[in-house]
Amino acid sequence: MALKPITGAELTKDKSRSFADVNIAFSKNRFTDDCSKVTNANAIKQAIKNLVLTRPGEKLFKSNVGSGVYQRLFEQLDPFTLDTIQGEIINTINQYESRVQLLSCKLTPFYTAGKVSVTVRYKVVGLPITESISFVLQRPS
């Protein structure tokens, strides 16, 4: 039996890219009794949020992965701190999430509550899809 070599053009022809990840809530799939998964846009959104919320050193064997936004939340919220937080988010996404091209990162501060609302707009690499994710950063209590 002869083996046919597989080339890259044959692998990607007529196939769309899909992304899958384990659901962070570890909810149970009622059909398979296994851990449920998130796919495509939701998988990328979950990955971006996890990257931003992960502190450097939390991930075993990859101690550099993460961002320092939690350290900045304990500082007084002012334009300089917001600029630092925004820079941390941008650098983290550009460095560790290769599936997306970052378009914008907008921060809205809530000075009295000590919270920051984050909205990240990105384009999925290789697909004509533009998505956004929003979440709130606040000091852990």
For 43-83, write each residue's pLDDT tens digit.
Answer: 888 889 989 999 988 888 888 888 989 889 888 889 999 99
Share of the chain above pLDDT 90, in %: 38
Residues 6+ apart with CB under 8 A from 29: 35, 36, 37
Is pTM, for the whole model, over 0.85? Answer: no
Ordered by start, the domain boundaries in the chain are: 19-138
| pLDDT, position 32 | 73
Provide the sign of the torsion angle of the four alpha carbons 93, 126, 123, 35, taken in this order: negative
CA distances from 121 to 39, 79, 118 (A): 18, 21, 10
Q: Could you say which of 3.40.50.1970, 3.10.450.40, 3.30.420.40, 3.30.565.10 is the CATH number of the domain covering 19-138?
A: 3.10.450.40
| pLDDT, position 13 | 44
Highest mean pLDDT among 27-31, 100-104, 122-126: 100-104
